[in-house]
Structure 1
């Protein structure tokens, strides 16, 4: 997927002072991405599993080339260093107009607020450019950093689902958090073409 949509979106943002920029995951990112995954093992486990070999990375890249999946890198403005990744998974159109977000910070820049800024931008990008109505995040109850992040961005708690996702070798309980395009101030955009009139 090319970055034209993200570039148009970022050009329209009034927050030119943001410390981060967005771009789609690409083949050229393999070495940096895998190095960051390796450096972030303690940060990610047991919350998330990212590709750690070239073969896994290529499969990951192929997955996010599909029209109902997007992988967006959060990069530090100026240096271009990758600070994190946000995936918009399982985008469903029609009456639902929804996607599920998953994300990870990388250890070298973790704890500096880049993920808060980046996820905020990705949410706006999803609502304004992809024109989804709703984004969901499923988070393990003990993942306090992730819960803090979604609260800061404006997601609301919707409940807990026992044994929802298979993570790190076991079925894990997850809290469900969501945000809709009516919960934040976004630029007016027409509905997606697949939304029925009634």
Structure 2
């Protein structure tokens, strides 16, 4: 699941990634706080992985092609079919690889996968207003600002406001069979 010109590859997140993932989350605590909370223990990871069982959420690791190291993680969350054909995307860099452009390449691969393989029409990214690096990333990747969602997610002990950004598939786009014709 990758673009051959990219320095990264997408790999579906599996239970076998537990130790590496949790270790990288712990090493990235200062980078992630207060923007997000990811599972940092084996028990949290196993609980968190249950969200991917029914296919409405998909989890991926962004791996550096040359070394195989995990540079970040991306989720495609709450996939809705029918007339919506969309989902939200959540992502986080891991500190050892942060600032090297891997997340931009990884999210570009996720967009390609979401629009071409999963045949989604729309992805949303919800970002806390103070997370300037993440806001620059979604804007650079072509997401459009849609507005502020007050008290959107419960993170770090409080309900946090988030800016809502979206991107839609461009032509030619092949719809999922679940899209009604009328």
How high is the TM-score relative to the length of structure 2? 0.96
Query: The residue matched to 2:118 in structure 1 has which SS?
Result: coil
Aligned twin of 2:175: 191
Aligned twin of 1:3: none
Query: The residue matched to 2:6 in structure 1 has which SS?
Result: coil
Shift of 1:166: 1.1
- Note the alpha carbon deviations across 1:15-59, whole angstroms, 9 max, x for none: x23110111001211111011000000000010100011011111
Distance in 2 separating the partners of 1:191 and 1:29:
32
Matches within 5 A, 1:18-97: 18-97=6-85
- Note the alpha carbon deviations across 1:83-111, whole angstroms, 9 max, x for none: 00010100000000010001000000000
Query: The residue matched to 2:99 in structure 1 has which SS?
Result: coil
Q: May I ask how many residue pairs the two structures share in their alignment?
A: 182
Distance in 2 separating the partners of 1:81 and 1:190:
33
Aligned twin of 2:115: 127
Identify which of 155, 165, 173 aligns with 1:177: 165
Give the CA RMSD over aligned residues: 1.1
Shift of 1:169: 0.6
Distance in 1 separating the partners of 2:5 and 2:83:
36
Matches within 5 A, 1:141-156: 141-156=129-144
Structure 2 residue runs without a partner (length 5+): none
Query: The residue matched to 1:80 in structure 2 has which SS?
Result: coil
- Note the alpha carbon deviations across 1:57-79, whole angstroms, 9 max, x for none: 11122212221110011000021
- Stretches of 4+ aligned residues off by more than 2 angstroms: none
2:86 aligned with 1:102, yes or no?
A: no
